[in-house]
Structure 1
Amino acid sequence: QYFQTTGNAGGSWTVNNQSLDTEGYSFFGRVRLPFVSEKLSVFGRYDHFDQDSDNVIADNTAYDLYIGGLSYDVAKGNQILVDYETTNFDVNAGQKGKVPSLGNNLGDEHKIQVVYQLAF
């Protein structure tokens, strides 16, 4: 999936009354592991998001998100997921959902998550 935006619906993705242009792309994949269990899958996701693609605030305002893990189908639409997530921020990137900032130096973020997805 590839996308481009100008500003955001909340009107907060602006600097000096100028809407920031963004762009990004995302890939997701899931593969069942029938040789272990019909209910077990491995999955992965990669996102790249440039928070200021036209460099109004600065260059190097992107981040890359990586997620990988296992899911187990408990019942139809209900899953338990265990995954590892890491985000690598460029030097001027803002937190996810925030406008970039010069010299932010957020570094890398790491998470291990256990999630129960409930469908009804």
Structure 2
Amino acid sequence: MFKNILETIVVNCSGGIGAVLMGYDGIGIDQYVIEEKTLDLNLVGIEYSNVTKEIAGAAEILNIGKLQEVSIKTEFYYVIIHALTDDYFVALMVERSGNYGQGRYLLMRESHALRLGLE
């Protein structure tokens, strides 16, 4: 179920590389990576889960509302992390030449279906 939703996000995003559904504890639930890429998306998710957890904690301490999204821009990729619940997030990797805004939109659009599957 999750793999189909993640595939929809990646395939419909110009420059999409892969997407992973993961818990803030670093345990991956499911992922989809386009075949020609040898990227270890699970490792990316594990490394960024700790950072995202810290950012969410800071937002709570500052009383500025729950974390909804974090974007990371590197030399080669955009990593867009979209919070789903208090325990889970989805991360999308997009090539720098890809469509970052489209990726954000697709994550937002499909987040409801991902949340339903987590219940």
Report if TM-score (shorter chain) is over 0.5.
no
Computing the radius of gyration from Cα coordinates, the structure with the larger value is 1
TM-score (norm 1): 0.27
Task: Decide which structure has greater strand share.
Answer: 1
